[in-house]
Structures are given as C-alpha cells and as structure tokens.
Amino acid sequence: MKPRKIEKTPQNDRFRLRLDQLLNQRHALYKLASQIDWNAAEEQFGNLYPEEGRPGIPIRLMAGLYYLKHTYNLTDEEVVVHWAENPCWQNFCGETPFQHPLPIDPRRPTILASRLAW
C-alpha cells in the first residue's frame, strides 16, 4: 500500500519539543533537508508501492535512511539505531518531534534498495 505522508501540524504538543526548535539550523543536514524536493521523491518512488495491503513506510524516511546509510558508511542496523539517537537525522527524515523508538525494523532499508535496484 502507498506510504503515509509525514504530516507536519502547526499544533504543538505540550510535552514534546519540535526538532526545528531544538536544532542548529546551520547544521549541514538541516540545510540539506530543506533543499531536497521531498514531494518529487514521493512522486517518483510512490509508484513502487502497491495500492493494497499494509501501509508503506514513508518515502522520506526510507530515502533519508538510505542517504544516511551511504553517507556515513553504515549497515542497515547501524543507521536505524543511530537515527533513534540523533535528532538531526530524525529531522532530515521528516520527523517533527523527537522519536525514541526505532522507526522501522533494521532489515527494512534493504527493501527500498531492492525496489530501486541500487
């Protein structure tokens, strides 16, 4: 099934800090995240997902994890664990508040790579 889009809501959660309020906006990943046309990526990769079945993982999350994996030369498991510990990485992948749980099963990024034939 097509992945859900990460919704950015203007309403603040009283007990959770928004990453854009927490991070240094001059950080390289923060700048890069604002320069990438994520909507174009969703349009490009959205057709790789079937229409039926379980909702897919958000494309921005999958593409962001794949980028981070190759940029920092990490395994699938390492990139997912580092994502859970790093607010800059979470912001890059489209999260608004900081998330504590792992975003996906650590074996999951290989699925995107196989769909894209990288």
- List pLDDT tens digits, range 76-112: 889 999 999 999 999 999 999 999 899 888 876 565 5
- Dihedral (Cα; 36, 42, 43, 45), 10-degree rounding: 110
Location of structure tokens 């508040």: 97
Q: What is the mean pLDDT of residues 10-19?
A: 67
**Domain presence at residue 26:** no
Q: Which domain holds residue 99?
A: 58-118
Q: What is the mean pLDDT of residues 32-48?
A: 91
pLDDT at 46: 84
**Domain presence at residue 22:** no
**Domain presence at residue 52:** no
Long-range contacts of 86-90 (CB under 8 A, 24+ apart): 87/19, 87/22, 87/23, 88/23, 88/27, 88/29, 88/30, 89/29, 89/64, 90/19
**Domain presence at residue 32:** no
Neighbour-count burial for 40-77, b at 16+ CB within 10 Å, e otherwise: eebeebeeebeeeeeebbbbbbbbbbbbbbeeeebebe
Residue 91, Cβ neighbours under 10 Å: how many?
Answer: 23
pLDDT at 115: 60
Decide: helix, strand or coil at residue 115.
Answer: helix
**Domain presence at residue 19:** no
**Domain presence at residue 81:** yes
Prediction pTM value: 0.80
**Domain presence at residue 12:** no
The count of domains in the chain is: 1
Q: What is the mean pLDDT of residues 16-37?
A: 91
pLDDT-based confidence at 68, cuts 50/70/90? very high
**Domain presence at residue 118:** yes
Please indicate whether residue 9 or residue 38 has the higher confidence score (pLDDT): 38
